[in-house]
Amino acid sequence: MTETIQRCSWCGSDPTYMHYHDTVWGRPVSDSRELFEKLCLDGQQAGLSWITILRKQASYQQAYADFDPDALLQLPASYQQELLQNSGIIRNKLKIESIFKNARAYVALRDQGIDFNQFLWQFSDGQPRIFARQGGDVPTSDAVSDAMAKALKKAGFNFVGTTICYAFMQAVGMVNDHYVHCHCYEPVCEEMRTFQLENPFSST
């Protein structure tokens, strides 16, 4: 008799969602560009379900220069108008503009000598937070996501409210919100215990 794999209930039975849950969600991310992409995509989710954005991720990568901030800023201003006709992404003017605003803010931080990964990971002191959720509702924000959202907005980012920031932290392994009965819980815990930021952590 085959043993049923236990997962967090939010991913349901959709194969795309289950694969994302099993291989991406909660796995600690150190790379600045990857963190930038995920933060931008979480902002695109505002008012929508995450599965909508997840299914469009490849189209987003193609449309937004693989989320390379420098490449984004080299695109002509007219390109944003072209994106309004791109059916592979969410064709919302403010959301399109937000990715370019975020790219400018990313580069501005770098010009100040602040690595984006360090900027984000400072809010959890450079280490993932491991919880032991038994079931029930998982928070949609906390004091850490509040602080991150405030700092990101001050730095010029947008679509980065506290709820978006908490979902972002869950996705990139700043917190482990897998339920303890989930088959990913222990593997994610192990990745978190051995996690090292790719460059030395320093508070900004």
Q: What is the DSSP string of 11-68?
A: GTT-HHHHHHHHHTTT-----HHHHHHHHHHHHHTTTS-HHHHHHTHHHHHHHTGGG-
Residue 107 lies in a domain: yes
What distances in angstroms separate CA 196 from CA 51, 71, 127, one per listed residue?
Answer: 29, 28, 8
**What's CA 88's distance to the chain center, in Å?**
19
* Predicted pLDDT at 4: 84
Residue 199 inside a domain? The answer is no
**Could you tell me if residue 75 is inside a domain?**
yes
Q: Give pLDDT, residue 1.
A: 45
203 in any annotated domain: no
The CATH code of the domain that includes 109 is: 1.10.340.30
List Cβ neighbours of 160 (8 Å cut-off, separation of 6 or more): 39, 43, 148, 149, 152, 153
Q: Does 100 fall in a domain? A: yes
Give residue 199's pLDDT. Answer: 60
Give dist(CA 183, CA 172) in Å, integer.
18
- Tell me how crowded residue 202 is: count the other CB atoms within 10 A of its CB: 11
The answer to whether the beta carbons of residues 40 and 98 sit under 8 Å apart is yes
Task: Give every CB contact of residue 180 below 8 A, 6+ residues apart in sequence.
Answer: 132, 133, 134
Q: How buried is residue 94: exposed, middle or buried, by Cβ count under 10 Å (0-12/13-18/19+)? A: exposed
The one-digit pLDDT tens for each residue of the chain (204 residues) are 456 899 999 999 999 999 999 999 999 999 999 999 999 999 999 999 999 999 999 999 999 999 999 999 999 999 999 999 999 999 999 999 999 999 999 999 999 999 999 999 999 999 999 999 998 889 999 999 999 999 999 999 999 999 999 999 999 999 999 999 999 999 999 999 999 886 654 443
Q: Is residue 113 part of a domain?
A: yes
Q: Which domain does 94 fall in, by range?
A: 14-193
pLDDT of residue 3: 60
- DSSP for 111-163, written as a single string: HTT--HHHHHHGGGTTSPEE--B-SSPPPS--HHHHHHHHHHHHTT--S--HH
pTM: 0.94
In a domain, 177, yes or no: yes
Domain count, the chain: 1
Domain assignment of residue 198, yes or no: no
Backbone torsion region of residue 182, taken as left when φ is above 0, otherwise alpha when ψ lies between -120 and 50, otherwise beta = beta
CA distance 197 to 62: 27
Q: Which pLDDT value is given to residue 188?
A: 98
